[in-house]
Structure 1
């Protein structure tokens, strides 16, 4: 297997774009090579098989979706309150919207995981860990609500993002902000 980390990352980024545009079924080595602008056969030198490519795509998506160091601390600096949760959820929606291909790629991976037990196990582990970390941060910051509050926000905002990213124009940006505020006000208790 080839060992150039920059090229591997570029191939994975191309694979994410292929998944976002063509779905998991369109993810082939040839499609990745074409999207990355490299000679045919390049990606097969980096990934042993399609399962390995899918697994590494999942890892790359999570790397790209991880906030910059310190940004969470900065975002959570104000006094804990329901209004801070509104702002944090708006920040999250903006971040994920800016990484549209990654989030669409994650939707595709979720669907593909229903057919691939190894991918399902890895995706479950990573998503569960991410949710647990969000719960931990929420409770440690003494934000209003409990672990179930975070779970309900996760479910509601995941659904909102599915609509926002898959049916563009269903909600304009102003309406999206209002919906986020409504979701938070209905789920998060006043402090």
Structure 2
């Protein structure tokens, strides 16, 4: 099969899932979003589970592309650099990364009932915890696995609220000011009066 056409359909499927949710994910909707003849998506991905798998695999590919770009820029070397990185990740959720993250959250809901889908998405989550722990260590913070996981979980918990953009929820969660949110998160997990030494504790 034509790989360029397949990628076009996968990207269209991500957009459909993000815009219309799981109930709106149909082969016909994907064909329309990709501007291809009716039946094209079904030819490439015959079942709805096939569509979900294609979207999940595309999300994994996009995740690895983003992390590769971050790795090329080099790890943060201090607390301020880490704060800049975390703030940029959160800002991306409400900006160019919004469709991918909306699709990812829809996939997570589906994965609760589909173990095969959960297995695909698990690769993203596991890599996220490992990668953000490495970033915290590179920044010279007194990292423990528990502290590193707390930072990552806080970022993950912020994502649905940033996507929903609730006018009352964002200030309640401190997400109306991402610089302050990240600074407060790091100050809570890593109080500034602690000795800055990688791997302390």
Q: Mark yes or no: TM-score above 0.5.
A: yes
Q: For 2:180 and 2:124, locate their aligned partners in 1 and report how far apart those are by CA, in whole Å.
A: 30
- 1:143, distance to aligned residue in structure 2 (A): 3.1
Q: For 1:126 and 1:52, locate their aligned partners in 2 and report how far apart those are by CA, in whole Å.
A: 19
Tell whether the 8 Å contact from 1:85 to 1:184 is kept in structure 2 after alignment. Answer: no
TM-score by length of 1: 0.85
- SS of 1:67's partner is helix
| Structure 2 residue aligned with 1:143 | 140
Aligned in 2, Cα 1:84/1:61: closer, same or farther, shift over 3 Å?
same
| Structure 2 residue aligned with 1:185 | 187
Q: How many residues align?
A: 186
Match of 1:87 among 81, 84, 88: 84
| Deviation string, structure 1 residues 34-62 (Cα, Å, up to 9, x no partner) | 11111110001111322122112112113
Describe how 1:21-170 pairs up with structure 2 within 5 A. Answer: 21-65=19-63, 66-67=65-66, 69-76=68-75, 79-81=77-79, 83-97=80-94, 98-139=96-137, 141=138, 143-144=140-141, 145-167=143-165, 169=167, 170=169
Structure 1, unmatched stretches of 5+, are none
| Structure 1 residue aligned with 2:178 | 176
RMSD: 2.3
